[in-house]
Amino acid sequence: MKKQAPTSLRDALAFVASYVEAPLPPVRLALSAAFGHVLAEDIAAPVSLPRFDNAAMDGFAIRSEDIPPVGPASLKIAQTITAGRTAVHELQPGEAARIMTGAPLPPGADRVVVQEAAEIVGDAVFLNPQAGAKPHIRRVGEDVSRGALVLEAGTRIGPGQLALLTALGLRSVLVAPQPKVALLSTGDELLQSPGSLEAGQIYDTNRPMLSRMLQDAGAEVTDLGIAADDPETILKRLVDAAGNHDLLISSGGASVGFADHLTRIVSRRGYLEFWKLAMRPGKPIGFGDIDDCPMLLLPGNPLAAAAGFALMGRAIIARLEGRPAERPAWRLPAASPLSKRPGETRIFLGRLRSDPGRPTMVDPLPYEGSASLRTLALAEVMILLHPDEVEIGEGDLVEILSI
């Protein structure tokens, strides 16, 4: 007996998780080329950070026993230590070393007195440190201990992660390759912007939007352009791309109109696993394959396409990268009531509201239809209501998705 195709978002996500059986094989990349990729290995620190004791402030490195409990002290300035200097002499009794932030601490020193509490007179410095002041020293391993797990497999390498890996001296890392995604828009009415529109034509807004969302999700995007409502043209572009891509995404041409060929095209060179989900906007979402390459069919209306990718597309990309497909739990109180029909997933657009003295809330925007570009441009987040969430009161927690 044929298994029933999923109709709910939850079942569709579970199907996608089982369909993409294994992530793409990992590759080793030079650290300089790994930005934006997802780690395919745990990273243990090969060295400690800091690598050596160093000054946390500009000032004077001293021995604490040379400072009396009360009153100022006069010490001889024996050396000046700048960041990057390697020749550092041991500090003797009665000596101070003028030191810059990040410079190595001289042996014997256990404290840095900030320069604001010092006065230089000739080759001596008069120090008047505040009682209980910090030592202003960064000790070896204070940030990272050698051998410690610092980044786990599945972590995306962003600016902060790149800085840490660079500081550890790593030359290369094992990462998941960025999934290669081919993106196609369909429709006789679509025209590349800018251009001269004829009567009945509109600019294609979905490809620029979806391309950026894909890149943000970690994908490498191939733009297949716009295909007219001709089955053979659409099929050829998709078949040509299927052999060297990990995912095909189309927008438009998947509803029940007479020119909607995509669902039939997929069935000619593959299998349409499901089509139409109980969600709004985004009901005409489909998933299948062409020549064994997974394919996600998104609606043509911009909000429906954005919602479909945020919920389904990101989950597929995550599976290909070997990351959990589950969305991070991000919930905020609603600033105003919401309602919907039971049994369906509903997406609203919203803006974040931070009123003085109150926690951050999400303010739903009026629903102007799934083709409203103005509403999409005003939105900061998507609000996701699950099938069992029918009436949402002011202050009730709702799930939030980034756009």
- Structure confidence at residue 370 (pLDDT): 85
The pTM for the full model equals 0.85
Q: Which residues face 29 on adjacent strands?
A: 173
173-226 pLDDT, tens digit each: 999 999 999 999 999 999 999 889 989 999 999 999 999 999 999 999 999 999
- The pLDDT of 242-262, averaged and rounded, is 83
Q: Which residues face 119 on adjacent strands?
A: 126
User: Are domains 9-25+178-320 and 331-402 of this chain identical in fold?
Assistant: no
Under 8 Å between Cβ of 227 and 237: yes
CATH architecture of 54-138: Beta Complex (2.170)
What confidence tier does 102 reach under pLDDT thresholds 50, 70, 90?
very high
The residue count for the chain: 403
Query: pLDDT at residue 54 above 50?
Result: yes
All structural domains of the chain with their residue ranges: 9-25+178-320, 27-49+142-176, 54-138, 331-402
- Structure confidence at residue 367 (pLDDT): 87
State whether residue 92 is helix, strand or coil. Answer: coil
80-92 pLDDT, tens digit each: 999 998 889 999 9
Q: Are strands 286-290 and 293-298 parallel, antiparallel or unpaired?
A: antiparallel
> Buried b vs exposed e over 82-116: b needs ≥16 C-beta within 10 Å?
eeeeeebeebeeebbbbbbeebbbbeebebbbbbe
Give the mean pLDDT of the chain: 92
Which amino acid, residue 390? V
More confident position, 16 or 132: 16
Q: Show the tokens assigned to 48.
A: 């400690």
The residues, ordered by sequence, that sit 6+ positions from 290 with a Cβ below 8 Å of its Cβ are 238, 239, 242, 248, 265, 266, 269, 270
Query: pLDDT at residue 167 above 80?
Result: yes
- Structure confidence at residue 1 (pLDDT): 38
- Structure confidence at residue 324 (pLDDT): 80
Query: pLDDT at residue 259 above 70?
Result: no
- The pLDDT of 8-24, averaged and rounded, is 90
Pick from 88, 91, 140: which is nearest to 113 by CA? 91
More confident position, 21 or 167: 167
Query: pLDDT at residue 376 above 90?
Result: yes
Pick from 19, 116, 66: which is nearest to 315 by CA? 19
- The pLDDT of 347-368, averaged and rounded, is 92
Options 1.10.10.60, 3.40.50.1980, 3.90.1150.10, 3.90.105.10; which CATH number does 27-49+142-176 get? 3.90.105.10
> What would the 3-class secondary structure string for 7-35 be?
CCHHHHHHHHHHHCCCCCCCEEEEHHHCC
DSSP code of residue 269: H
Q: What are phi and psi of 222, to 5 degrees?
A: -110, 125
Q: Show the tokens assigned to 18.
A: 């089982």
- Structure confidence at residue 211 (pLDDT): 98
Q: Which residue has the tokens 């009415």?
A: 189
d(C-alpha 45, C-alpha 59), whole Å: 30
In this structure, whether the domain defined by 9-25+178-320 belongs to CATH 3.40.980.10 is answered with yes
Fold classification of 331-402 is Beta-clip (2.40.340)
